[in-house]
Amino acid sequence: DAVFDRIRQLDTEIGAYITVAKDAARQQAKQADAHIRAGSAGPLTGIPLGIKDLICTKGIATTCASRMLADFVPPYNATVMEKLFSAGAVMTGKLNMDEFAMGSSTENSAFQITRNPWDRSRTPGGSSGGSAAAVAADMCLGALGSDTGGSIRQPAAHCGVVGLKPTYGRVSRYGLVAFASSLDQIGPLAKDVTDAAILLGAISGHDPKDSTCAKNDVPDYTAGLDAGVKGLTFGIPVEYQNAGGMDPGVKAAVEKAVAQLTDAGAKCVEISLPQTEHAVAAYYLIAPAEASSNLARYDGVKYGYRHKEAGGLKQMYEQTRSRGFGPEVKRRILLGTYALSAGYYDAYYKKASQVRTLIRNDFAAAFETCDVIVSPTAPTPAFGLGEKTDDPLQMYLSDIFTLSANLAGIPGLSLPCGFSESGLPIGLQMMAPHFAEARLLQAAYAFE
Ligand code: GLN
């Protein structure tokens, strides 16, 4: 009731929810109540969670914030939803995002913008901006987002919450509407590190329905949280320190965080990730290439929107896709189709894939000398609504510190590390080797 009151009071202005699922939530809460009375409650029993609107929920619209899927009601649950429901969680509703997760400000939603609860003239970041804003404004107690190039971590930073992108393959993608399949990963946004650890534990693990989902055991992520940072070595990438457009307040907050880690007994060393300058270019070839292929399925026949007045099959495809997709999605389809076309494939997609391997090697080499890499999550605090909408390149640069983790497949976490002069939250990013989420959470917990 408290969460739904909060949504009623705030969400007409914040715009975090696309769908509020009150009736279904009440049913789930009743079942949770029975478990609590029977003494069989777990850590998620009855906990109200919001879900980014690209994770399939049986019987409840899953729109991807696109006109193309405005009326799509999935006949099945994503694996993460099955896992959350069997852990007793309650779903409050579906949260706003950039259309098909393409963006860094949640302004690309076909339905509404989301405002940053800390300053309503600013964006919450994106693409999981609805998830971050809802957690920050107590319109749910935790949320799921998805991260292809930073879409969990960057909005978490801008809204002052904890966000975790797991290792590629840690969490099943079955039922996650695909953007760029080799980069996408579902993860939690939470009020603190302990909540993030509980949520990650609940959604992780092998799933025979996703062939890229790893068989590694799922540890109890809450068990070693208080082990501290003594004995851990933190690496600070030299290439990130003066990256273009870095806000001095962000730089100062991260330097202070590094000093705090040192005070707490950690060792901090400089490391090098020499391919950093090529990460944005490689990502913006690989992600659109995969997107152009994944989005070919929206043809007006199999799912969602169909333009009904077209004269023939070809016009039906054309009209459906012209009207169903927004401008950023079309831009990605054009970029991706071009990069994959005969004659350009070797120059663009293949080259970008080779750069991706070099980026992965950079991280492997860095992790020989440190346990955790620390950096800002984003170069600036939350930016103003409309500030970057006319300049896609500027928007793409918001992910300069986050997208390398997706290219390398490693886990990354963002946690609050102070405020800018104007009182906006700043995020600290920590990255660890593949499947070392427990170490990330332990390091973040010590900082918190
Ligand atoms: N902002 C990046 C993009 O637009 C990343 C999005 C994401 O992680 N889903 O592609």
Q: pLDDT digit string (tens) for 90-111? A: 999 999 999 999 999 999 999 9
Q: Residue 228's closest CA among 255, 199, 263, 195?
A: 263
Nearest CA to ligand 1 atom 4: 103
Q: Over 80: is that where the pLDDT of 136 sits?
A: yes
For residues 411-432, give the mean pLDDT: 97
Please report, rounded to a whole number, the percentage of residues in the chain having pLDDT higher than 90: 95
| Angstrom distance (rounded) from CA 345 to CA 352 | 10
Question: Which tokens in the block code for residue 343?
Answer: 């004659």
CA of 127 to the centre of ligand 1 (A): 6
* pLDDT over 80 (residue 242): no
Tell me how far apart the alpha carbons of residues 444 and 429 are, in angstroms, rounded to a whole number: 9
Percent of the chain with pLDDT over 70: 100
Instruction: Give the number of the atom of ligand 1 that is nearest the alpha carbon of residue 179.
Output: 9
Instruction: Name, in order, each residue with C-beta under 8 angstroms of 385's C-beta and a sequence gap of 6 or more.
Output: 105, 107, 113, 115, 121, 122, 123
Q: How far apart are the C-alpha atoms of 322 and 172, rounded to whole Å?
A: 31
Residue carrying the six token digits 């992910």: 399
Model pLDDT, residue 394: 87
Structural domains of the chain ordered from first start: 2-203 (3.90.1300.10)
412 pLDDT tier (thresholds 50, 70, 90): very high
Contact 140, 132 (CB under 8 A): no
Instruction: Tell me what pLDDT residue 90 has.
Output: 98
- Cβ 440 vs Cβ 411: under 8 Å: yes
Q: Tell me, what's the pLDDT at 388?
A: 95
* Bridge-based pairing state of the strands 372-376 and 233-237: parallel
Amino acid at 361: N
- Mean of per-residue pLDDT scores for the chain: 97
* Ligand 1 site residues, Cβ closer than 6 angstroms: 101-104, 127, 147-151, 179, 287, 399
Give burial (CB, 10 Å; 0-12/13-18/19+) of 258: middle
Strands (E), 162-317: 162-165, 185-190, 233-237, 267-271
Q: What is the dihedral of CA 146, 147, 148, 151, to 10 degrees?
A: 110
* pLDDT range class, residue 338, cuts 50, 70, 90: very high
**pLDDT for 243:** 78
Residue 140's CB is within 10 A of a number of other CB atoms, namely: 26
Kindly give the distance from the C-alpha atom of residue 46 to the centroid of ligand 1, in angstroms, as a whole number.
Answer: 31
Distance of CA 307 to the CA centre of its chain: 31
> Which residues 6+ apart lie within 8 Å of 153 measured at CB?
147, 163, 164, 165, 377, 402, 412, 413, 414, 427, 429
- Asked, as a colleague might, if the bond just before 127 is cis with ω within 30 of 0, I would say yes
Predicted local confidence at residue 448, as pLDDT: 86
Helices and strands, counts by H and E, the chain:
15, 11
Please provide the size of the chain in residues. Answer: 448
Among candidate residues 66, 105, 109, 127, the one labeled active-site is 127
- Extract the tokens encoding 229: 């940072």
Q: 198-239 pLDDT, tens per residue?
A: 999 999 999 999 999 999 999 999 999 999 999 999 999 999
User: For the complex shown, is ipTM > 0.95?
Assistant: yes
Which of ligand 1's atoms lies nearest the C-alpha of 151?
8
Question: Helix, strand or coil for residue 102?
Answer: coil
H helix or E strand, kind and range, residue 289: helix 279-294
H or E stretch covering 276: none
Q: 86 an active-site residue? A: no
In 3D space, the residue among 91, 58, 93 whose CA is nearest the CA of residue 74 turns out to be 58
Q: What is the pLDDT of residues 73-93, one digit of tens each?
A: 999 999 999 999 999 999 999
Ligand 1 atom closest to residue 101's alpha carbon, by position in its atom list? 9
Q: How far, in Å, CA of 265 to CA of 230, rounded?
A: 5
Ligand 1 atom nearest 395 alpha carbon: 1
Residue 396 CA to ligand 1 center (angstroms) comes to 8
Query: For ligand 1, atom 5, which residue shows the shortest CA distance?
Result: 149
Q: Is the pLDDT of residue 40 over 90?
A: yes
Active site residue 127: yes
Which of 146, 151, 375, 398 is catalytic? The answer is 151
Q: How far is CA 397 from the centre of its chain?
A: 16
Strand duo 233-237 + 162-165: pairing:
unpaired
CB atoms within 10 A of CB 303: 15
Say how far apart CA 222 and CA 43 lie, in whole Å: 11
Task: Note the pLDDT of residue 393.
Answer: 87
Residue 20, strand partner residues: 93
Report pLDDT for 159.
98
